[in-house]
């Protein structure tokens, strides 16, 4: 008597059978795949946007440089505001690794668009005396007009930070354009672009040191000193700046590195990633439940098919693998669509922001892998249930 050994489905046959099973229930399969796709897209987009944002911010830091240090006046032992010596910029400039030293000094004046504006409406703007090469030290650029020079620094002429210009309602430079500063008219010669490393400049109205002393009663003491150093010796310069700026009272001087705040911000970009990834995981779980529901109903609806296949020689393993393959294929389709949607969303948003698009392997690989794993888990129970059906019991529904 001849015996036969149950055959195994080839991978290509298994894929074809699984695909045919999904094509017979297109709407239900599409909705289940959509749930998976939404979850994967959320995960890919969160990780992709975070990585792109970090890359853009770090690129900006590299462009602006990490060798800028700021020196500001701190507090005295009694808690009063300290004061930097007038000679501080010059003394700092004599430190070997220092490349550039520029400064600003805070005045008590306020700036308005016209004298008709109530004095209480200051728009949170500050009026500062400025040295002439400040934009060069900060790597700032002039958006409109021109910056102060040796001549205009002596006269009632001002340059506006980006936010200061916006709050004053000025978006262009016209002949004889004036603003009301400290009780008199100042001509506006230029508007700066936003300064990333030193945002305090954005809300400043900048005038020359001589003009500030002549027209605004400025005492000549700098309030902030900006120092560019050799990149390799930033730490060494940082350690001596306080004592150099104010040898008599070094404890009353505060030294900081603006790029450190941006680097911390780049590191903190992922702080909320856990929350958004959790939301994506919930959507993925819901999609997995949808896959499980689709497969359970599929088993119930296809009892006759299962019985017929079993009576024709299909083993329990064949039935189990068939239904498990359908679940995995359904989840994999959703994963592919989700990865594509998340990547496209990342590309569009990064392009709008001017970032380079970065989609980490963890994002698309992890998202796709998670979708396949969810599909396998969701389809396991229905597959086992289908495999346990006896041919005679299944064929009773025919």
pLDDT of residue 304: 67
Q: Are strands 253-256 and 126-130 parallel, antiparallel or unpaired?
A: unpaired
> What single DSSP character describes residue 392?
H
Q: pLDDT tens digit string along 136-187?
A: 999 899 999 999 999 999 999 999 999 999 999 999 999 999 999 999 999 9
Q: Which two tokens stand for residue 80?
A: 């009063």
Domain positions in the chain are: 11-61+268-395, 68-264
Pairing between strand 184-192 and 126-130?
Answer: unpaired
**263 pLDDT more than 60:** no
pLDDT of residue 9: 58
Q: Where are the beta strands (DSSP E) in the chain?
A: 68-73, 98-106, 111-112, 126-130, 142-145, 157-160, 178-181, 184-192, 204-208, 224-229, 253-256
Do 253 and 246 contact (CB within 8 A), yes or no? yes
- Residue among 50, 352, 72 nearest 198 (CA): 72
Q: Given this model, what pLDDT does residue 181 score?
A: 96
DSSP character for 124?
A: T
Is residue 363 within 8 A of residue 51, CB to CB? The reply is yes
Q: How far apart are CA 141 and CA 202, in angstroms?
A: 12
Of the candidate ranges 49-53, 90-94, 341-345, the one whose mean pLDDT is the lowest: 49-53
Could you read off the pLDDT of 384-397 as tens digits, one per residue?
776 676 666 655 55
Is the model more confident about 358 or about 120? 120
Dihedral of the alpha carbons of 280, 285, 287, 293, in degrees to the nearest 10 = -170
pLDDT greater than 80 at residue 279: no
How far, in Å, CA of 272 to CA of 358, rounded?
18
DSSP annotation string for 35-101: HHHHHHHHHHHHHHHHHHHHHHHHHHHHHH-S-EEEEEE-B-TTS-B----TTHHHHHHTSTTEEEE
Token pair recorded at residue 159: 């340059």
Under 8 Å between Cβ of 193 and 84:
no
> What backbone phi and psi angles, to 5 degrees, belong to 135?
-60, -35
For the chain, what's the residue count?
Answer: 398
How much is the average pLDDT of 113-126? 92
């Amino acid at each position: 008597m001849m015996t036969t050994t149950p055959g195994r489905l080839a991978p290509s046959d298994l894929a074809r059978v699984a695909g045919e099973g999904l094509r017979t229930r297109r709407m239900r399969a599409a909705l289940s795949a959509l749930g998976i796709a939404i979850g994967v897209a959320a995960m890919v987009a969160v990780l992709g946007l975070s990585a792109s944002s970090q890359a853009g911010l770090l690129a900006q830091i590299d462009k602006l440089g990490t060798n800028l240090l700021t020196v500001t006046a701190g507090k005295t032992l009694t808690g009063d505001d300290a004061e930097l010596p007038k000679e501080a910029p010059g003394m700092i400039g004599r430190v070997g690794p220092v490349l550039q030293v520029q400064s600003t000094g805070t005045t008590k004046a306020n700036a308005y668009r016209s004298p008709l504006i109530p004095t209480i409406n200051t728009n949170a703007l500050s009026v500062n005396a400025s040295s002439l090469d400040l934009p060069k030290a900060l790597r700032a650029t002039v958006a409109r007009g021109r910056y102060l020079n040796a001549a205009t620094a002596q006269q009632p002429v001002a340059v506006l930070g980006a936010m200061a210009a916006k709050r004053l309602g000025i978006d262009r430079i016209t002949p004889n354009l004036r603003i009301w500063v400290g009780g008199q008219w100042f001509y506006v010669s230029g508007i700066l672009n936003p300064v990333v490393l030193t945002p305090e400049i954005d809300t400043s109205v900048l005038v020359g040191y001589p003009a500030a002393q002549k027209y605004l009663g400025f005492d000549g003491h700098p309030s902030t000193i900006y120092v560019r150093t050799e990149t390799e010796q930033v730490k060494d310069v940082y350690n001596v700046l306080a004592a150099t700026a104010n040898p008599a009272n070094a404890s009353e001087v505060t030294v900081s590195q603006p790029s450190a705040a941006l680097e911390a911000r780049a590191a903190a970009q992922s702080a909320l990633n856990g929350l958004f990834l959790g939301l994506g995981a919930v959507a993925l779980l819901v999609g997995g439940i949808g896959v499980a529901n689709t497969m359970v109903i599929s088993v119930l609806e296809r009892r006759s098919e299962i019985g017929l296949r079993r009576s024709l020689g299909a083993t329990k393993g064949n039935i189990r693998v068939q239904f498990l393959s359908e679940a995995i294929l359904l989840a994999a389709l959703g994963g592919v669509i989700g990865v594509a949607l998340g990547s496209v969303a990342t590309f569009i948003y990064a392009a709008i922001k001017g970032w380079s698009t970065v989609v980490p392997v963890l994002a698309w690989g992890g998202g796709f892998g998670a979708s396949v794993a969810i599909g396998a888990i969701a389809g396991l129970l229905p597959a086992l249930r289908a495999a346990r059906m006896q041919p005679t019991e299944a064929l009773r529904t025919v």
